[in-house]
Amino acid sequence: MLNLGSIFHCKLSMRALSSLCLVAVSAVIVSCGTPARSIDPMAPSPMDPIVQKPINDQFEFKPKPAFQYPRGVDGVPYTKSPSVIVFDPRSQQVIYERNAHEKRAVASTQKLLTALVARAKNPTDRYIEVPYEATLLEPSKLYVKSGARYPLYYLLKSLVVKSANDVAYTIAHGVSGSKNAFVNDMNQYARQIGMRNSHFKNPHGLTESGQYSTAYDVALLASAAYRDPYIRQCVKTREMDFVHNDGRAVNFKNTNLLLHRIPYCVGMKTGTTKASGKCLASIGTLAGQTRIVVVLGASTRQQLFDESEALLRWSLEG
């Protein structure tokens, strides 16, 4: 005689076994059918050697189509800033420009030239002493103390991330012996890289009569700066800690907000004075293409970063 309890127990066991098999098969199908997530080769590494905080290299690149920005009749995003350029640093070709050869103040974007001259003249592990004159500079500063000594590589990184004027003066004095001697080196270097419509009178970009450049020349400067491996690392630093000689630590973020707004933006330099307006040289790399965008004379920070983002996205995303 059949035992009904055994039959019922057997059916339950078979159903449980079937369920387990279905789960296992489903897991195999999912694991085999879903391709491994690809990593954008242009994304930053998980731990950038220049940045103290980890960077997620698994970002989802979600294009923000350029047509979301108003466009002119030529199809280029509409901009109000008086001088702009989109530049290909590899071919050295101008992709788009408006008043790109107009001479004007460019503020702290010229600190890229300060960094290049310092790199050309001195080893970056050399220690440089802060002169008293550097402590008098305003407004953007790190409040380094007179007589303090720092390695050049540390000062250069602070120069392009924080845009500190006292650091710019310290570098100039330490590298060339005086501000005037360094300015001569700046103008000589500028001519060597093709900046024919520029003249500099200080290493920090504060307004001074007879000091000027152009959007085109700043694009050439940004191109030269990006070819330097150490400066290239520094300009993409999103934030850093600066430790003074007395142990005080100051944390600050990069003044270039595009580093936080566009995943493929890899840096460059801001600048602002009353004479120059809001200025930004930015650079982005996507799918093997690199573009430099320079916007000079914007009225507001919002305008500056919106127009720079629009041009950079248009030039790389289409």
Catalytic residue among 81, 83, 108, 276: 108
Burial 61-72, CB ≥16 within 10 A → b, else e: eeeeebeebeee
For strands 149-151 and 83-88, give the pairing.
unpaired
The residues near 118 (Cβ < 8 Å, ≥ 6 apart) are: 152, 156, 171, 175
From the list 83, 140, 158, 163, the catalytic residue is 163
Active site annotation includes 108: yes
Cis peptide before 131 (omega within 30 of 0): no
Catalytic entry in 111, 162, 179, 278: 111
Please give the C-alpha separations between residue 57 and each of 47, 49, 256, in angstroms, as whole numbers: 9, 14, 20
| Three-state DSSP state, 28 | helix
Residue of 250, 266, 279, 277 lying closest to 166 (CA atoms): 250
How far apart are the C-alpha atoms of 268 and 144, rounded to whole Å? 23
Q: Tell me, yes or no, if 163 is annotated catalytic.
A: yes
Helix (H) or strand (E) holding 229: helix 229-235
Burial (CB count <10 Å: 0-12, 13-18, 19+), residue 214: buried
Look at residues 310, 275, 317 and name the one whose alpha carbon lies nearest to residue 295: 310
Q: Supply the residues annotated as catalytic.
A: 108, 111, 163
